[in-house]
Structures are given as C-alpha cells and as structure tokens.
Chain A
Amino acid sequence: DAKTTQPTSMDCAEGRAANLPCNHSTISGNEYVYWYRQIHSQGPQYIIHGLKNNETNEMASLIITEDRKSSTLILPHATLRDTAVYYCIVRPLYNFNKFYFGSGTKLNVKP
C-alpha cells in the first residue's frame, strides 16, 4: 500500500485559505486519495476523496497533481472550528477493507 507524508503541523489565519499538502509518491494507478479530519476527542470525519481529477464539495477542494504523486486539500475560508488533525490516506480501488491513517497534519486556525 502506498504511504503518505504530511507536515506535522501548520498554522492558518481565520478567514484565509488553508492549503494542506500530502506526498504519495508511490501511489499506483488504481489507488484513491482520501482526506479525513479529526477534531479533538471525536472520531475521524470524511472530507473528500479523488482518483485523478480535482474534486470539490461543500467542505473542501482536492487538487491532485498530474503525476498523482502529491495532492493538496484546500479549505477555502478556514474557521476556528477547522482546527483539527487532517489525514491524507491512499486506498486501493478494490480494497475496501482498511485505511492507513498515518500521523496527519495538525492544523491550527488562529484568530
């Protein structure tokens, strides 16, 4: 399974865009990229996922590079409630079984 590398922590000013990078240089063609976040003392929350194309939903945008070796999660207008640990996960297309979470990026949104 492809591994991911994320910065340990990042800061972002409230109201600004938060751009969280993820490196997955060993990703293969049939592996999805998922993003989850975990707010303190809660379970992980699904944000977005993609395979090749960029994706956008009500929570965030996911930008995947053309070679698929890295991706960026964008929170367009970060709020204090977006302070959380963000996990980038790579999952094979037909392996439904498990996600490898890694240690994630702690995003601190500051007033």
Chain B
Amino acid sequence: DTGVSQDPRHKITKRGQNVTFRCDPISEHNRLYWYRQTLGQGPEFLTYFQNEAQLEKSRLLSDRFSAERPKGSFSTLEIQRTEQGDSAMYLCASSFGEVKNIQYFGAGTRLSVL
C-alpha cells in the first residue's frame, strides 16, 4: 500500500453516461498526476496538478474529460458521455515535488464502458 487511494476500484457504465473517479494522494504530496492505461500498454500521462493548479494536460485529455483538485488535496477525474474507447485503467499518482520526484501510484480504477 503506497498511501495513494483511488475510488472506486472498478466501474461499469453504459455508453453515454458520465463517470467520476476520486484520488486521495499521500497527505504531504503537493503534486498529483492522472494516467490512463490500456491492456498491454504502459501508463500514459493525462494531466498533472501542483497543489490546486492544473499545470499540464495531455492531448489524450479530450473535452469530455475534466479533472479538479480543490484545495490541493484529493482530486477527481470526470468523463462525460463515455465511449467504449474510454475503457481503461485510470491511475493516480502523487509526489512531493523534490528533484528526484518519485511518483507513488494508487491501485487504479478500472473502467468498463458497455
């Protein structure tokens, strides 16, 4: 257990529905990351927060995706109007922001869009 919690662990939804995932980082970590991982591939970067500010977004993050980190604590990732191609593992990581910047990952939320 790295100390990064993600909820839910699994989500099954129908195409067109909205879903929201939550990530609770390690408490003293000021940086928070979201990644997406499809079967057989390594995780791909989606977006990154430093405290409450969203500083970078990948081109993978379409307009249907939105992430927030109010008050620089937990973060949510929302996907609107889900598509079958959104089926993946969504991983959250946090780090302290020092030079070595070791990212600690949660167990992920597995999304299945039917």
Contact residues in B for A49 (Cβ distance below 8 Å): 100, 102
Contact residues in A for B69 (Cβ distance below 8 Å): none
User: Bound complex: CA of A32 vs CA of B92, how far in Å?
Assistant: 22
- Tell me which of A43, A91, A93, A104 contacts B107 (CB under 8 A): A43
With contact pairs A43-B4, A43-B108, A45-B105 given, residues A97 and B95 touching in the complex (Cβ less than 8 Å): no
We find that the number of chain B residues with CB closer than 8 angstroms to chain A is 28
User: Bound complex: CA of A79 vs CA of B106, how far in Å?
Assistant: 23
Contact indicator per residue, chain B 79-114, by CB within 8 Å of chain A (1) or not (0): 000000000000101010101111111111000000
A44 part of interface (Cβ distance < 8 Å) = yes
Contact residues in A for B99 (Cβ distance below 8 Å): 93-94
Contact indicator per residue, chain A 81-100, by CB within 8 Å of chain B (1) or not (0): 00001010001011011111
Contact residues in B for A44 (Cβ distance below 8 Å): 43, 91, 93, 105
Q: Is the CB of A99 within 8 A of B45?
A: yes
A103 part of interface (Cβ distance < 8 Å) = yes
Contact residues in B for A102 (Cβ distance below 8 Å): 42
Contact residues in B for A85 (Cβ distance below 8 Å): 42
List residues of A whose CB falls within 8 A of some B CB. Answer: 32, 41-46, 49, 85, 87, 91, 93-94, 96-104
Besides the contacts A93-B99, A98-B56, A103-B40, what 14 more A-B pairs have beta carbons closer than 8 Å?
A: A42-B107, A43-B91, A44-B91, A44-B93, A46-B102, A94-B99, A97-B33, A97-B48, A98-B45, A99-B43, A99-B45, A101-B44, A103-B41, A104-B42
